[in-house]
Structure 1
Amino acid sequence: MSADAGDFTRDPLIRAYAALLRSYREAASLSRAKLAEALGCSPGWIEKLEICEKPPSEATSDDLDTFFKTPARTFHTIWVEIKREGKQPVGLPGFPGYVRREAKASMLNIFAAMVLHGLFQTPAYAREVLKVGRSPEEAEELLATRLARQEIFQRPGLAQISAVIDEGVLRRPTGGLAVMKEQLDHLIGLADDPRVTLQIVPISKGAYQGNMGAFTILGFEQDPEVVYVEGHTSGQFMEDPREVRGHTLAFNLIRGAALSADQSLELLHKVVESL
């Protein structure tokens, strides 16, 4: 299954549509080729609908309702709901839930180990990160979602973002020197926000607690803190108080290995000057 397929599969409405189509087709003892012939489309299109690789269209939904004589235009009704709800945010399984919680968080403690956190990325940098292993269309959709998340900086309820960044992230020429210079200048600008604290763990530090990988701790005005850890194939929330305490301790140890905010800003300027 393609990368697109995984994204659409996570939308329960599209899964329901696919299951309904498959059940009607099999009940009529039709192959995908025979149904496609009757509808005037390709067998590949029917397959993409049934495996959730493509979202249904209004025209196809109307054709299916007519062909199968469904009650109350069943396929069209589900298509309307899909259109109303919109496709689920693309990304790793578990990530849409993170986006919803991030938008409500009043405090974030972020450790960036390999790439900058999405809230800090410029469009050019984000595009370079997102295009790896994805189609141009999917990358642009993810980019729009990522940039929309940055509206958190305009929200009055945001109290504090503390980010610790491994120096290697700043030295990696993601997108080339021009992209990195723009990105680092953007970070320097963010450091002026009193709600944002940026610290860098220098390469000279060697091994430290952050070698375990990136994570984010989200705090809320009323709800308990949660931890989000993004892996290669999925994102995971940790809500158990012991897990949260463990990651809070790890974050404090990582921050202890980092330069102060002032020293980190000086290093940022030096890295920009070296480009």
Structure 2
Amino acid sequence: MANIKQLDPSASPLDYYGAELRRLREAANMTLKELGESVFCTGSLVGQVETALKVPTRDFSARVDAAFNTDGMFSRLVSLVLRNQLPTWFQPFAEMEAKATHISTYQAQLVYGLLQTSGYARAVLETGDAKRVEELLAGRMERQRILEAARPPLALVVLDEAVLHRPIGGAEVMREQLAHLLEYAERPWVQIQVLPNSVGQHASLAGSFTALRFTNDHELVYTEDLISGHMTADADTVREGARRYASLQAAALSEEDSAKLIKRVMEERYGPRSAVGEHPVA
């Protein structure tokens, strides 16, 4: 007799997703292989999702909804599953970030998470918990969906010029990442400025920070240390964060000059833009 892993649906959104998938499959008298064929994947993959060993994708969830006629239940549930893959200490900030109407961030080391490509994000995440890279990547990509909402937040981003020159993931990944920044910079609700190296000392030498504004809530300032994040609504801290961010914006290049610098670094350091996104024909 097969040793079937029993899940506790209350343990996590992923466990609940797997338990519901198994319940519906068994109610339909379908084998793993039969459901796999119905949703265009292997029975092994279905089994891994059912036992919470594999994080489901949005495409997989849409196909399961179609197979069981569940009116989008799994497509809605997968959002919670994917957000839950973010580090536990980061989830409170991600929840507030998703509610914000205005995001103002200065990034000294890396591209802001909402603007990272999957290749860049993967390279960053591989420096940490290598065993959970796929899960963490899925969570980060899900987090970015707020910029695709019908009414996305206004995102004001100041990147230190060093971010453009730091070859995260190699030349190909950086070409794609910088091209991605240029594409987002054309959107009316995203403003990207580069703080050039020539500025020298500036208002946030202590490091990166992010400020969030809301329609009906207190403003927040978020910072990170080596292994955790810190979020505060303290009025003096919020005021100081606003002062420092205004100073950074004033010292940074204009949006137009920033785009020119990003393009120049992309072409001179990582290769011409025409190479970005090109793939061999199968």
The answer, yes or no, to whether TM exceeds 0.5 is yes
Q: CA deviation at 1:58?
A: 4.4
Cα distance in structure 1, aligned partners of 2:259 and 2:105: 17
The CA deviation at 1:254 is 1.2
- Name 2:242's counterpart in structure 1: 248
Give structure 2 stretches of 5+ with no counterpart. 18-80, 271-282
Partner AA of 2:186 in structure 1: D
Question: Of 119, 122, 131, which aligns to 1:127?
Answer: 122
Residue 264, structure 1, aligned to residue 264, structure 2: no
Answer yes or no: is the 8 Å Cα contact 1:108–1:218 preserved in 2: yes
Q: Which amino acid aligns with 1:130?
A: L
Per-residue deviation at 1:91?
A: 5.0
Counterpart of 1:262, as a letter, is E
134, 141, 149: which one aligns with 1:155: 149
Between structures 1 and 2, the one with greater helix share: 1
RMSD over aligned Cα, in angstroms?
2.0
Residues 133-163 of structure 1, C-alpha deviation per residue, up to 9 Å, x if partnerless? 322x401111000001111112133241100
Residues 144-183 of structure 1: pairs in structure 2 closer than 5 A: 144-183=138-177
Identical counterparts, % of pairs: 35
Give per-residue Cα distances to partners, 1:116-146, cap 9 Å, x unaligned.
11100000000000010322x4011110000
Which among 218, 231, 234 is matched to residue 224 of structure 1?
A: 218
- Distance in 2 separating the partners of 1:141 and 1:227: 27
Which of these residues, 84, 95, 101, is aligned with residue 100 of structure 1?
Answer: 95
Find the aligned partners of 1:151 and 1:133 in 2 and give their Cα distance.
23
Residues 20-39 of structure 1 correspond to what in structure 2 (within 5 A)?
Answer: none
User: Which of residues 80, 101, 109 in structure 1 aligns to 2:9?
Assistant: 80
TM-score norm. by structure 2 comes to: 0.67
In structure 2, the partner of 1:233 is 227
Give 1:211 shift: 1.1
In 2, distance between residues paired with 1:146 and 1:192?
Answer: 22
From 117, 129, 132, the counterpart of 2:112? 117
| Counterpart secondary structure, 2:94 | helix
- The answer to whether the 8 A contact 2:86-2:140 is kept is no
Aligned residue type for 1:89 = N
Name structure 1 gaps, 5 residues minimum.
1-56, 60-75
Is 1:190 aligned to residue 122 of structure 2? Answer: no
1:142 paired with 2:136, answer: yes
- Partner letter of residue 133 of structure 1? G
- Contact 2:157–2:193 (CA under 8 A) maintained in structure 1: yes
CA distance in 2, matches of 1:265, 1:153: 19
Structure 1 contact 201–258 (Cα < 8 Å) conserved: yes
Contact 2:115–2:181 (CA under 8 A) maintained in structure 1: yes
CA distance in 2, matches of 1:148, 1:230: 21
Aligned positions, number: 201
Q: Which residue of 1 aligns with 2:70?
A: none
Post-superposition offset of 1:90 = 4.7
- SS of corresponding position for 2:205: helix
For residue 156 of structure 1, give the secondary structure of its aligned residue in structure 2. Answer: coil
Offset of 1:185 from its aligned partner?
0.3
The runs of at least 4 consecutive aligned structure 1 residues that moved more than 4 Å come to 85-88, 90-93
Deviation at 1:245, TM superposition (A): 0.7
Confirm or deny: 8 A CA contact 2:102 2:155 kept in the other structure: yes
Q: State the AA in 2 paired with 1:232.
A: L
